[in-house]
């Protein structure tokens, strides 16, 4: 048995028996290891699911397919939802930056307003300005040559991550190059990823692939499938808190198995612009809250993320696939909602055009 298989076997054994592999070798209370167990209603819900799906196989429910990799086999659940994302024309990026006087050091919102009142409405118009002319000429040269890398660096240096201008650079990618990504884990701090989902928009629908672990031993294979998708030429990630959680977590798990780190594609994390846009309007910035209050998406009987570990542990112990159903449904909706949120955040920059996907 190789190193990765030994690691996975230990996690599988300890998860089923209620031992915290990442901490100590002694048995511990499942209420502490898996907080969902402390909620009596969730315990009843799990039991109801297990009764409903007693005797069913995974394929009876999900109709998934086997994926074969150098890291072993894993299980992929594929589905699609109607999705036609409207985006501003590519020119919106150019015109927005050309009129953004705050790209110049020393110009804030107040100074920009004063300059506009004097007729300086664009970077180009500032080229002969005594104080700001030199910087304006440099920026205008980047605009004229469409040096998007250089312009993105300027935007990063001048604006916070929550500023909506960052998201405009996603217009440099075709819609079908955007890879929407989300994971479900057994908790925090080096516990296994048990479900990895990707979505791409093609031909008017989002095609979602969910790599669902039938046992912990499939984690390396599932990770390798996602890394392969991320490596596709032109791919750009779209996530919600992916910079702070999903991508670092994936990187950590890949390193845990001695695998090469994930590639570093362009990455558009929707948490930051969402926080900026709906600050004060939404109770918090959890994806579920943004869905309800900004996108009018209402989930029926959704499984809270904190209960995922308990449900998955119940599946491992019983091999009854019932507890996996709400995990897969929750994760699929997370990915589908990313596309709706992405479109909403780009509204207001210009007239939208039909989806390229």
Task: Give per-residue pLDDT as tens, 284-304.
Answer: 878 888 888 888 888 888 888
Which residue, among 215, 210, 179, 180, has the nearest Cα to 196 in the 3D structure?
210
> Which helix (H) or strand (E) segment is 75 a member of?
strand 72-82
Same domain, residue pair 143 and 184: no
Q: What is the secondary structure of 157-225 as a DSSP string?
A: HHS-TT-THHHHGGGGS-GGGEEEEEEEESSSSSPPEEEEEEEEEETTEEEEEEEE-SSGGGHHHHHHH
Same domain, residue pair 177 and 268: yes
Per residue in 213-227, pLDDT (tens digit) is 999 999 999 999 999
114 confidence band (pLDDT: 50, 70, 90)? very high
Q: What per-residue confidence (pLDDT) applies to 9?
A: 62
Indicate whether 6 belongs to any domain: no
- Report pTM: 0.86
Domain assignment of residue 103, given as a range:
87-161
Same domain, residue pair 301 and 255: yes
Question: Cα 193 from chain centroid?
Answer: 14
Same domain, residue pair 93 and 238: no
Same domain, residue pair 211 and 299: yes
SS3 content of the chain, % helix, strand, coil (to 5): 50, 15, 35
Q: What per-residue confidence (pLDDT) applies to 1?
A: 56
Q: What per-residue confidence (pLDDT) applies to 15?
A: 60
Domain end point (choices 99, 131, 161): 161
> Which helix (H) or strand (E) segment is 40 a member of?
helix 40-52
Burial class (CB in 10 A: 0-12, 13-18, 19+), 1: exposed
How far is it between the farthest Cα atoms of the chain?
A: 79
Within 8 A by CB and 6+ apart from 227, the residues are 254, 259, 260, 262, 263
Burial class (CB in 10 A: 0-12, 13-18, 19+), 194: buried
Same domain, residue pair 122 and 183: no
Q: Cα-Cα-Cα-Cα dihedral of 283, 288, 292, 298, to 10°?
A: -150
Per residue in 26-62, pLDDT (tens digit) is 233 333 334 444 456 778 888 899 999 999 999 999 9
Handedness of CA 240, 244, 247, 253 (dihedral sign): negative
């Amino acid at each position: 048995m190789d190193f990765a298989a030994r690691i996975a076997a230990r996690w599988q054994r300890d998860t089923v028996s209620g031992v915290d592999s990442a901490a100590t070798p002694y048995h511990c209370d499942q209420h502490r290891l898996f907080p969902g167990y402390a909620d009596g209603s969730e315990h009843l819900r799990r039991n109801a699911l297990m009764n409903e799906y007693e005797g069913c196989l995974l394929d009876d429910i999900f109709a998934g397919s086997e994926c074969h990799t150098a890291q072993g086999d894993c299980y992929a659940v594929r589905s699609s939802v109607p999705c036609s994302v409207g985006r501003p024309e590519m020119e919106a990026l150019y015109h927005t930056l050309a009129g953004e006087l705050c790209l110049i050091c020393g110009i804030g919102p107040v100074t920009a307003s004063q300059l506009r009142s004097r007729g300086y409405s664009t970077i180009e118009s500032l080229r002969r300005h005594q104080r700001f002319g030199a910087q304006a000429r440099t920026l205008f040269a980047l605009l004229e040559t469409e040096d998007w890398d250089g312009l993105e660096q300027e935007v990063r240096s001048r604006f916070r991550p929550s500023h909506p201008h960052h998201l405009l650079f996603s217009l440099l990618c075709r819609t079908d190059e955007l890879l929407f990504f989300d994971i479900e884990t057994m908790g925090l701090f080096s516990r296994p990823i048990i479900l990895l989902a990707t979505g791409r928009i093609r031909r008017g629908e989002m095609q979602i692939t969910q790599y669902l672990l039938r046992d912990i031993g499939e984690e390396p294979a599932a990770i390798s499938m996602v890394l392969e998708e991320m490596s596709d030429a032109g791919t750009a990630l779209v996530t919600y808190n992916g910079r702070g959680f999903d991508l670092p977590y994936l990187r950590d798990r890949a390193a845990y198995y001695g695998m090469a780190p994930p590639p570093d594609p362009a990455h558009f994390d929707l948490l930051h612009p969402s926080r900026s846009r709906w600050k004060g309007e939404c109770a918090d910035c959890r994806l579920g809250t943004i869905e309800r209050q900004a996108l009018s998406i209402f989930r029926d009987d959704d499984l809270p993320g904190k209960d995922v570990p308990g449900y998955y542990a119940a599946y491992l112990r019983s091999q009854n696939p019932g507890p996996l159903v709400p995990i897969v449904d929750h994760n699929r909706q997370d990915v589908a909602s990313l596309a709706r949120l992405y479109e909403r955040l780009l509204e207001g920059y210009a007239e939208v055009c039909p989806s390229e996907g």
